[in-house]
């Protein structure tokens, strides 16, 4: 029974990793940009929520609603004024600029908030759990998982049901032709990164509620997100959720065997998938 419990906890943890990964997947899908600062943006989001909570005395769940438009604006500006300038055939500029951004963000957070680890304030709801047979499920992990599913459903609706989504898909397929049809790829990219940062903010909420965070944990979140995207197959959002779940289950099972193996087990699961299915479990895009 302990194993069932471990695996269920792993699946729910996978929801968190899918939230980390969804923004990365969205940006990559539309503009083939891998944002190496993604993990640090999640951590920054967590600090932003923390600041709103402490300054305005808001509940974290309300603070996240205030943080979302701010993060959208940041993402929009970041893409419009910085990252758009790096896009092109050469893969070096986007990689090196986002890597530089990652280091700048980490150290700016370190300067502003010190290396002390922080946590968003929790209340009765966040520590509550529900009993399901012999398994006790935390409300927080359940909420995280539900949010991940909502985000993915929402993104799929956005992609396939709205004119913005049509513009996203058109630009992703062929930016030049899309621009002939009156779409401005630069603006589409900016909106996409803005939306990615809204998802980042949601991920940041759960990161901050569930565990401690400090300015240095960003790169590890980027790596989990990346592994989830690759396992799922580039361009498939549901695949990304499955990828997150595989990493989550591998980590909790690894930790159950030996606490030191938690992170290692996740990485090894990723390498095994890469070995067997180099293009991921549900490949769609040809990249």
Provide the binding-site residues for other proteins, judged by CB under 8 A: 33-34, 36, 82, 85-86, 90-97, 99-101, 103-104, 106-108, 110-111, 219, 222-223, 226-227, 230, 260, 263-264, 267-268, 270-271, 274-275, 278, 287
Residues belonging to the chain: 287
Opening angle at CA 260, ends 259 and 262, nearest 5: 70
- Closest to other proteins by CB, 108 or 146: 108
Tell me, what DSSP letter sits at residue 128? -
Taking the complex as a whole, the smallest distance from the CB of residue 215 to other proteins amounts, in Å, to 9
- Closest to other proteins by CB, 57 or 88: 88
CA dihedral (37, 39, 40, 41) positive or negative:
positive
Taking the complex as a whole, the smallest distance from the CB of residue 235 to other proteins amounts, in Å, to 13
Taking the complex as a whole, the smallest distance from the CB of residue 124 to other proteins amounts, in Å, to 37
- Closest to other proteins by CB, 94 or 194: 94
Taking the complex as a whole, the smallest distance from the CB of residue 96 to other proteins amounts, in Å, to 5
- Distance between CA atoms of residues 70 and 132, nearest Å: 39
Structure tokens at 133: 């047979």
CA dihedral (95, 97, 101, 104) positive or negative:
positive
Taking the complex as a whole, the smallest distance from the CB of residue 236 to other proteins amounts, in Å, to 15
Taking the complex as a whole, the smallest distance from the CB of residue 82 to other proteins amounts, in Å, to 8
- Closest to other proteins by CB, 64 or 196: 196
- Distance between CA atoms of residues 118 and 215, nearest Å: 9
- Distance between CA atoms of residues 215 and 228, nearest Å: 22
Structure tokens at 221: 């979140």
Taking the complex as a whole, the smallest distance from the CB of residue 144 to other proteins amounts, in Å, to 23
- Closest to other proteins by CB, 145 or 226: 226
- Distance between CA atoms of residues 214 and 107, nearest Å: 11
E-assigned strands of the chain? Answer: 129-132, 135-138
Nearest to 16 by CA among 202, 261, 235, 282: 202
- Closest to other proteins by CB, 128 or 257: 257
- Closest to other proteins by CB, 4 or 91: 91
């Amino acid at each position: 029974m302990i194993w069932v419990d471990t695996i269920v906890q792993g699946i729910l943890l996978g929801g968190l990793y899918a939230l980390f990964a969804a923004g990365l997947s969205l940006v990559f899908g539309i503009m083939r940009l891998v944002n190496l600062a993604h993990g640090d943006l999640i951590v920054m989001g967590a600090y932003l929520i923390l600041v709103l909570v402490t300054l305005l005395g808001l509940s974290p769940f309300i603070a996240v609603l205030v943080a979302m438009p701010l993060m959208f604006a940041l993402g929009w500006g970041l893409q419009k004024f910085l990252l758009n300038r790096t896009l092109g055939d050469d893969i070096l500029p986007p990689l090196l600029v986002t890597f530089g951004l990652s280091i700048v963000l980490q150290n700016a957070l370190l300067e502003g908030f010190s290396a002390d680890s922080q946590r968003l304030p929790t209340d009765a709801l966040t520590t509550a759990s529900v009993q399901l047979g012999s398994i006790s499920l935390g409300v927080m992990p359940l909420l995280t998982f539900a949010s991940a599913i909502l985000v993915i459903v929402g993104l799929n609706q956005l992609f396939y049901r709205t004119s913005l989504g049509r513009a996203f898909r058109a630009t992703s397929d062929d930016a030049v032709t899309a621009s002939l049809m009156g779409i401005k790829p630069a603006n589409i990219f900016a909106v996409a990164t803005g939306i990615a940062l809204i998802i980042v903010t949601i991920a940041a909420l759960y990161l901050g509620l569930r565990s401690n965070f400090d300015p240095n944990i960003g790169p590890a979140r980027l790596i989990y997100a990346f592994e989830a995207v690759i396992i799922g197959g580039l361009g498939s959002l549901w695949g990304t959720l499955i990828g997150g779940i595989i990493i989550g289950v591998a980590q909790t099972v690894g930790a159950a065997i030996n606490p030191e193996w938690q992170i290692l087990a996740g990485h090894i699961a990723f390498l095994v998938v890469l070995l067997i299915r180099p293009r991921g479990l549900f490949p769609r895009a040809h990249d």
